[in-house]
Structures are given as structure tokens and as C-alpha cells.
């Protein structure tokens, strides 16, 4: 019972932080699963992918209804991210065949690297945007978007981290969209990517459905609370503090 309550509480905390700051669920949840609940890393990755899939569906439906999703961009990225995810999951399976539980150490190092890179980019996002000459999307840009999807899909397949934060950042660096369109398009694509990734991990036995269910029970009211509080707390500073904590967590995973 205590373990069940701990899972629900973690889901509530993650849901609240997502609602408050907009940070990706994978970035926030995965370290808690690995370090807090001591879930084997490969099971944490598969379960986290399914959790992200479930939590992004309602938001993607809302964005589709509001017309803030660029379907061609979603398609272009999915063309790259779907095979990318397959390659990432296949690499994990290959490493597990070769090294057994040693694959968990590889995952921790990969996640640690992403937890250093992603928060660092988020902390300096404004300054980075100021010094980059972004361009409006054209048909030729879709090749670049497909490549972004390929890289992002590979990382998500291996770690479940980056379906929102990493891909959003890569789009932000190279293409000009209205913020609400960027968010809506990214979330819609993340549903496709995390859905495929969780399916691939499920087929390999890497998904703990009881864990995912417990996390969702907590995350739904947490997300509602976070969204409600987002206009009442200094979100910018909270986001910076979280990014700093994630940087420290990533460093710990790399040098543990």
C-alpha cells in the first residue's frame, strides 16, 4: 500500500509541475522512477513512454480543435521519428541481449546526458533565440523537420525523454512559428511518437501497467492543480530552479 501511495504521489507531483511550468513529463518523471522508486531503467523508460502518451492525448485533442496544429509538420516529423524510435528501442534490445541488466547502466548514462543538455538549453532559450536567424518554413524545410524527427525519435526510443522538450527546442532553433502553434504541433507529434515507442517497449515486456495506472491517478488532479496555480506563482523562477535541479540530477547519473 505504501508503494502504491508513493507512485500516486509521484504522479501528482509530476502532473503539478507539468501544469505549472510546461516542462516535459519524461524529463521530470524518469529520474523519480529510477532514483526514487528504484525501477529498473529499461522498465522506467517503457512505462514513462506510455505515461507520456496517455497524458498528451487530451492536450492534443484540444489543440486540434483550436486549429493550433500544423498537420504537415507533424507528418514530416513523424516520417523521421517513427523509424528513429524503432532504431532506439532496437538498440536497447540489442544491448540487453549482449549485456543483460548492464543495459540499465547505459540508459542511466544516456538519460543523464539528456538531463544535462535539455535543461541547459531551456535555461538559455531566450538568449539562444536572439542570436539565431530563424527562417519561415518552406516545402524544403520538411526534409529538415524529418531529420529533427529522426534524431528525436531515436532519443525517445532509448530514453523516453525528449518527445516534447528536445524536439520543441530543435524546432524552435530553426523555424518560425507562433508559440501556440509550436506547442500544439509538438504535442500532436508527441502523441504519435510516444504511442509508437510505448507499443514497441510493451512488445519487449518493458512496460509496467500497474505503475503507469498509479502515476496517472495522481497526475490528472496534479495537472489540474498546476494549471490553476500557474497564474499565481512565479513560474519563470520555478522553471529555472527545476532546470537547475535536473542539471544536477543529470550530472549525478553521468558520474555515479
Q: What is the 3-state secondary structure (H, E, C) of the chain?
A: CHHHHHHHHHHHHHHHHHHHHCCCHHHHHHHHHHHHCCCCHHHHHHHHHHHHHHHHHHHHHHHHHHCCCCHHHHHHHHHHHHHHHHHHHHHHHHHHHHHHHHHHHHHHHHHHHHHHHHHHHHHCHHHHHHCCCCECCCCCHHHHHHHHHHHHHHHHHHHCCCCCHHHHHHHHHHECCCHHHHHHHHHHHHHHHHHHHHHHHHHCCCCCHHHHHHHHHHHHHHHHHHHHHCCCCCHHHHHHHHHHHHHHHHHHHHHC
CA atoms of 241 and 236, how far apart (whole Å) = 9
Q: What is the pLDDT of residues 115-137, one digit of tens each?
A: 888 877 777 766 655 555 555 55
Q: What pLDDT, on a 0 to 100 scale, did the predictor assign at position 191?
A: 92
The arithmetic mean of pLDDT across residues 141-155, rounded, is 89
pLDDT at residue 141, as a whole number: 75
Average pLDDT for 63-80: 91
Rounded Cα gap, residues 203 and 218, in angstroms: 26
Q: Residue 137's pLDDT is what?
A: 59
pLDDT tens digit sequence for 202-219? 999 999 999 999 999 999
Q: Cβ contacts of residue 207 below 8 Å, gap of 6+?
A: 43, 46, 47, 49, 50, 198, 201
Lowest mean pLDDT among 37-51, 83-97, 213-227: 213-227
**Residue 254 binned pLDDT confidence (cut-offs 50, 70, 90):** confident
pLDDT of residue 22: 66
| Mean pLDDT for the chain overall | 85
Q: Is pLDDT of 148 > 80?
A: yes
Q: What integer is the mean pLDDT of 133-157?
A: 79
Q: What's the pLDDT at 125? A: 65
By CB atoms closer than 10 A (0-12, 13-18, 19+), residue 92 is: buried
Ranges of each domain in the chain: 2-255
- pLDDT the model gives residue 100: 93
Amino acid at each position: 500500500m505504501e508503494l502504491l501511495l508513493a507512485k500516486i504521489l509521484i504522479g501528482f507531483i509530476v502532473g503539478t509541475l507539468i501544469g505549472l511550468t510546461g516542462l516535459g513529463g519524461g524529463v521530470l518523471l524518469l529520474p523519480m522512477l529510477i532514483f526514487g522508486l528504484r525501477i529498473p531503467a529499461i522498465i522506467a523508460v517503457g512505462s514513462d513512454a506510455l505515461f507520456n502518451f496517455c497524458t498528451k492525448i487530451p492536450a492534443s485533442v484540444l489543440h486540434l480543435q483550436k486549429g493550433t496544429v500544423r498537420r504537415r509538420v507533424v507528418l514530416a516529423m513523424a516520417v523521421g521519428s517513427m523509424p528513429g524510435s524503432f532504431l532506439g528501442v532496437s538498440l536497447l534490445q540489442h544491448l540487453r541481449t549482449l549485456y543483460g541488466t548492464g543495459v540499465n547502466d547505459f540508459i542511466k548514462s544516456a538519460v543523464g546526458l539528456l538531463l544535462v543538455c535539455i535543461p541547459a538549453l531551456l535555461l538559455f532559450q531566450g538568449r539562444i533565440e536572439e542570436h539565431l536567424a530563424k527562417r519561415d518554413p518552406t516545402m524544403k524545410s520538411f526534409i529538415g523537420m524529418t531529420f529533427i524527427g529522426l534524431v528525436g525519435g531515436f532519443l525517445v526510443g532509448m530514453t523516453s525523454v525528449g518527445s516534447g522538450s528536445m524536439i520543441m527546442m530543435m524546432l524552435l532553433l530553426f523555424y518560425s512559428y507562433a508559440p501556440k502553434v509550436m506547442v500544439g504541433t509538438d504535442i500532436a507529434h508527441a502523441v504519435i511518437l510516444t504511442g509508437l515507442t510505448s507499443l514497441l517497449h510493451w512488445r519487449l515486456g518493458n512496460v509496467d501497467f500497474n505503475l503507469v495506472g498509479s502515476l496517472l491517478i495522481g497526475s490528472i488532479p496534479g495537472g489540474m492543480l498546476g494549471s490553476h496555480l500557474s497564474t499565481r506563482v512565479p513560474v519563470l523562477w520555478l522553471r529555472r530552479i527545476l532546470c537547475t535541479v535536473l542539471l544536477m540530477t543529470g550530472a549525478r547519473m553521468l558520474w555515479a
